[in-house]
């Protein structure tokens, strides 16, 4: 290969810019070095700034071949941005070798262009030297802010009794600027929140994924919804940022223990009768029909013989006291039961921004006095058959027999036999 074939010069842009009145800060060139590939010589890459402000067309570089000393040859380029998409982005002055760019380039869409350079016969358009190539690499500009995905609005439901440190919401963002550069690297932070307490922070999961963390505890009675504004800001110059809004809908938990409507109750039942004997109402400030408000009743004392049971009416949330094993009036006339009430869900309380820990408070209790009313049981002969003997010479009116009778209810002296 002759010296004239290989000689291709990239003129310094600082000289070109002076004549074309373009800002030299928009373009850079690397040393004009020929790099050998398998089939051709390739010029080193030309750097071009992303989204140059113009004016356009703007000079990119100047190409030269020694054969241009012959006025019968012209310069030509082809390839990316010339004859291939985006067509018409670059052009060359066939006489001077100046290469022009005609509009701003978005690096995120077109990061690199590969262009072929030929020297042609002016008349026949036939190539008169070997094809050379050069690359145009678009230098990244921090023109994209990190974007939250899949949405910049996140809405989640969180129970009031969420523990401190709970992972409330996942935030993910991505910056399409040059990978692993300050333009695409970013940080996340909580900009603001309403209400202001409890506080929220962010925990790093990956470079692009963070978790919103609870610091403290929720009080459903004070706030039922929180709005948190999170910012993602890249490290480019100047930095660019975007925000995401996290909406936390708080659901009520068991933060109020149930209480009986009254401390004492009285009821009565006929002896040996099996039935419902009392309905006991309660008061609970938690949201109705939730595990935090549904009542659970327990008989603590007075039911050692298993005569009673208490269940919760799912519709009214009342305690339904029933006799399940009959009581004998003669054994027990009045029974006093002690009944406790709790909720299905464990009690949770937030005081001064901290969850209350330690022993669980004792449940609220009430006393129920059950009076067993007597039923008139029939008298019973102790023996169904008795043999009675009498003296043949007995006098009229003599007592022949006094039966042995048992009556649980009445005075034995008031019984009559017929």
143-194 pLDDT, tens digit per residue, is 999 999 999 999 999 999 999 999 999 999 999 999 999 999 999 999 999 9
Q: Which CATH class is domain 3-139?
A: mainly beta
pLDDT score of 21: 37
Instruction: Give dist(CA 21, CA 59) in Å, integer.
Output: 9
Mean pLDDT of all residues in 236-245: 97
Was domain 259-373 assigned CATH 2.60.120.260? no
pLDDT score of 360: 84
Q: What's the predicted TM-score (pTM) here?
A: 0.73
Least confident of 236-240, 286-290, 357-361, 386-390: 386-390
pLDDT score of 12: 31
For 341-377, the DSSP string reads EEESSPP--EETTEE--SSPPPPEEEEEEEEEE---P
Residue tagged 């039935």 (tokens): 275
Instruction: Give dist(CA 20, CA 376) in Å, integer.
Output: 124
Residues of the chain with CATH 2.60.40.60: 3-139, 147-251, 259-373
Specify the CATH number for 147-251; select among 1.10.150.110, 2.60.40.10, 2.60.40.1930, 2.60.40.60: 2.60.40.60
Phi and psi dihedrals of 408, rounded to 5? Answer: -70, -20
Percent of the chain past pLDDT 90, that is, above it, reads 69
Residue tagged 């004997």 (tokens): 277
């Amino acid at each position: 290969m002759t010296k004239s074939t290989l000689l291709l010069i990239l003129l310094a842009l600082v000289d070109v810019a002076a004549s074309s009145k373009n800002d030299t800060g928009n373009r850079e060139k690397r040393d004009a070095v020929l790099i050998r590939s398998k089939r051709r010589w390739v010029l080193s890459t030309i750097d071009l700034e992303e989204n140059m402000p113009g004016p356009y067309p703007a000079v990119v570089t100047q190409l030269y071949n020694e054969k241009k000393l012959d006025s019968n040859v012209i310069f030509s380029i082809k390839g990316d941005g010339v004859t291939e998409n985006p067509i018409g982005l670059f052009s060359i002055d066939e006489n001077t070798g100046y290469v022009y760019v005609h509009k701003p380039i978005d690096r995120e869409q077109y990061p690199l262009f590969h262009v072929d350079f030929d020297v042609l016969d002016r008349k026949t358009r036939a190539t008169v030297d070997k094809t050379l190539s050069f690359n145009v690499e678009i230098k990244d500009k921090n023109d994209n802010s990190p974007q939250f995905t899949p949405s910049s609005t996140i809405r989640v439901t969180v129970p009031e009794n969420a523990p401190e440190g709970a992972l409330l919401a996942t935030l993910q963002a991505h910056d399409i600027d040059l990978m692993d550069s300050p333009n695409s690297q970013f940080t996340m932070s909580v900009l603001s929140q309403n209400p202001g307490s409890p506080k929220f922070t962010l925990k790093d999961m990956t470079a692009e994924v963070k978790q919103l963390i609870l610091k403290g505890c929720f009080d459903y009675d004070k706030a039922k919804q929180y709005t948190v504004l999170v910012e993602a800001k890249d490290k480019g110059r100047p930095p660019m940022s975007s925000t995401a809004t996290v909406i936390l809908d708080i659901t009520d938990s068991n933060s109020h223990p149930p209480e009986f409507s009254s401390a004492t109750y009285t009821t009565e039942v006929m002896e040996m009768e099996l039935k419902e004997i009392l309905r006991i109402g309660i008061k609970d400030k938690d949201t109705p029909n939730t595990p935090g408000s549904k009542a659970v009743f327990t008989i603590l004392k007075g039911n050692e013989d298993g005569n009673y049971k208490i269940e919760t009416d799912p519709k009214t949330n009342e305690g339904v006291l029933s006799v399940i094993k009959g009581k004998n009036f003669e054994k027990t006339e009045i029974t006093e039961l002690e009944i406790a009430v709790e909720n299905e869900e464990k009690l949770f309380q937030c005081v001064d921004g901290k969850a209350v820990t330690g022993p669980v408070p004792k449940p609220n209790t009430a006393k129920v006095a059950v009076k067993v009313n007597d039923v008139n049981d029939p008298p019973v002969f102790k023996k169904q058959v008795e043999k009675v003997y009498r003296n043949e010479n007995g006098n009229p009116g003599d007592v022949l027999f006094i039966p042995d009778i048992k009556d649980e209810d009445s005075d034995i002296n008031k019984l009559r036999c017929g």
